[in-house]
Amino acid sequence: MINLPLLPILLPLLTGVILMFFPKRIKAQRAVSLISTMLTILASVVLTQVVRTSGIQSVTLGSWPAPFGITLVSDMLSALLVLSTSILTFAVLWYSTVYLSDEHERFFYYIAVQFLLVGVNGAFTTGDIFNMFVFFEVFLISSYVLIVLGGKPEQLRESLKYVLINVISSALFVITVAYLYGIVGTLSMADISQKIAQSGQTGVLTVIAVLFLIVFGLKGAIFPLYFWLPGSYHVPPIPVLALFGALLTKVGVYAIIRTYTLFFYHETGFTHELLAILALATVVIGVIGALATRDVKQILIYNIVVAVGVILYGVAVMTRQSLEGAIFYLVHDMLIKAALFLLIGVMIGITGTSRLNEMGGLIKDYPRLAWTYFIAALSLAGIPPLSGFVGKLLIVRGGFEAGYWIGPALVLVSSLLVLYSVMQIFIRGFWGTPRRYAGKRKAVSGRLLLPAACLVILTVFYGIGTEFVRPYVTQAVDPLVDPSVYIEAVLKEGS
Amino acid sequence: MEIIMAIAAGVLVTCAVYLILSKSILRIIIGTGLLSHAAHLLVMVMGGLKTGDAPVIKDGVTAYTDPLPQALVLTAIVISFGVTAFFLVLAYRAYQELGTDNIEEMKGNDSYD
């Protein structure tokens, strides 16, 4: 069972390859990709349990000793993220089978989703910085395919910008890795951390830390680098949007967490303060965007930006409590964002528009949709029994205990405004006078609701079962506050 | 030698940034090509340009150049090649559909407010 961390990467990879042989047989495509994603979930559940019972799992490919070969490392953080990635990909695939037109599904949609899953799971699991770049490219190229699939003029227009931004940030990633390699002379993340600890974090390394923040901030949409996100995410179809909104920015966030806790934890005075300021600015910008728009997709897209800011603020404070909160919130946010995007997808499917001004009174004909959305919205804002609460509570408490007050206060105010922005959708879209709608997917709205509702139920359990989840999160924080745990687990095989 | 190469990489980045900030899509794509050249050159430079034989094991050779950056560059080259090919086709399709290659004319159509 020592190759267990590989399974969540290998399963979708094999599936993607197999699916290429019969791209036009839609039913087979659906069945194979659903079954294999189910298996991926199973593998990640087992992986999480194994990490829980016997500590960090690391596999060095090809039996080369640790700093020389590529290592795949599953600590609790990456295991949890792989698990939630697999679960929400399953829900999105299930939703896609109902939502997408046959025309869309015939052109390699499921193959691209499987490769996206390979890239994201790989980026969460890898223990090698250049390998992380490669996995980033794997999911980015899949995302280029997914964003442009369908070929509508606005998709072509926005994907040109999306591809350009990501090409630039990938080039910056290579440049940053080159600098880091020039200084420390190794690529294995555990070994880099060790070398930096030995030599001390000199000025050059702080510059590299900021470069990493720019690279991953471009992927994860933090404050001055978020400008591409609202336009690009508005154009793809809803299931693709749900995948992007839930996964892609979170990989950037994960990469920031990893590098800032494993590599650059020596001179926190500059780097982490910068991160905190940018994170808070991200929260503010996201909230302003979410309040300013009357388009359901845009409201949620700006809420992605808010969540990224909140999580990174938790990381920037760097106490045990705030990191715990950040991880709680990260997992919660992946699931709830996917659920919310799928839910507004049902709304758009019924009404045929994404503008709030043209909606109203949906609760009369679609009460289940309305109340599921209501719960999801409360959960996003962090109302106590639901899942967003614990994460934010820990982040805010961690912030206050570390002696800051502006940051936690901003996070608290942002929750209120986030609640306002998502309740806008509820009040304007679901209440009011019912209208006649002629959306294309009105007839299948019940079947569309099912996967979204499953995700919402899961997040409700995630919120109620905090006592059950807590030990996992505590274990995930261990290598973040004490990198030697991580380093020992990776390098033990070499010695 | 490293200094000259670093300056060359810097010049490449400068040209790339200038081209990426221009209006025509094709100039932007040429800019991304230059940017990846700069990144690849930089990886080679940062690995060190110490003289040594090509990293192929032979009898009687004691000093080799660092093989790792070469492998990294090889990987990065094929990735950027794939992405550039996709980008070019995308630009071609966009030109067909939108009838323009001017990025300034590709603004949002206010489908949302």
Domain that holds residue B6: 2-50+64-101
Q: Does B22 touch chain A (CB under 8 A)?
A: no
pLDDT digits (tens, 9 = 90+) for B34-77: 999 999 999 999 888 877 888 888 888 888 889 999 999 999 99
pLDDT digits (tens, 9 = 90+) for A134-156: 999 999 999 999 999 988 888 99
Q: Do the domain assignments include residue B113?
A: no
Q: Does B85 touch chain A (CB under 8 A)?
A: no
Q: Does A148 touch chain B (CB under 8 A)?
A: yes
Q: Do the domain assignments include residue B59?
A: no
In three-state secondary structure terms, A236 is coil
Q: Do the domain assignments include residue B55?
A: no
Percentage, residues of chain A above pLDDT 70: 99
**How many Cβ atoms from other residues are within 10 Å of residue A353's Cβ?**
16
Task: Please list every residue in chain B whose beta carbon sits closer than 8 Å to the beta carbon of residue A134.
Answer: 75, 79
A177 has pLDDT over 90: yes
Our CA-based measurement puts residue A293 at a distance from the nearest CA of chain B, in whole angstroms, of 6
A319 has pLDDT over 70: yes
What would the mean pLDDT of A330-340 be, rounded to a whole number?
95
Own/partner contacts of B97-101, CB < 8 Å, gap of 24 or more, are B97/A151, B97/A153, B97/A156, B98/A153, B98/A156, B98/A157, B101/B24, B101/B25, B101/B26
Give dist(CA A192, CA A181) in Å, integer: 9
What would the mean pLDDT of A239-250 be, rounded to a whole number?
95
Task: Please list every residue in chain A whose beta carbon sits closer than 8 Å to the beta carbon of residue B106.
Answer: 157, 160-161
Q: pLDDT band at residue A63, thresholds of 50, 70 and 90?
A: confident
Q: pLDDT band at residue A437, thresholds of 50, 70 and 90?
A: confident
Q: Do the domain assignments include residue B43?
A: yes
Confirm whether the ipTM is greater than 0.85.
Answer: yes
Given this model, what pLDDT does residue A3 score? 85
Give dist(CA A82, CA A331) in Å, integer: 10
Given this model, what pLDDT does residue A379 score? 94
Structure tokens at A120: 């994201």
A495 has pLDDT over 60: no
Contact (CB<8Å) A175/B103? no
CATH number, domain with residue B83: 1.10.287
The per-residue pLDDT of chain A, averaged, comes to 93
Contact (CB<8Å) B113/A294? yes
Burial class from Cβ neighbours inside 10 Å (0-12, 13-18, 19+) for residue A41 reads buried
A170 has pLDDT over 90: yes
Spans of all domains in chain A = 269-464
Given this model, what pLDDT does residue B113 score? 41
Q: Does A204 touch chain B (CB under 8 A)?
A: no
The structural domain count of chain B equals 1
Closest chain B residue to the Cα of A187, Cα to Cα: B68
Q: Do the domain assignments include residue B80?
A: yes
Instruction: Name the residue facing A151 among B39, B93, B113 (closest C-beta).
Output: B93
Given this model, what pLDDT does residue A264 score? 92
Task: Please list every residue in chain A whose beta carbon sits closer than 8 Å to the beta carbon of residue B108.
Answer: 154, 231
Contact (CB<8Å) A157/B106? yes
Q: pLDDT band at residue A159, thresholds of 50, 70 and 90?
A: very high
Instruction: Name the residue facing A179 among B40, B46, B108 (closest C-beta).
Output: B46
Q: Do the domain assignments include residue B110?
A: no
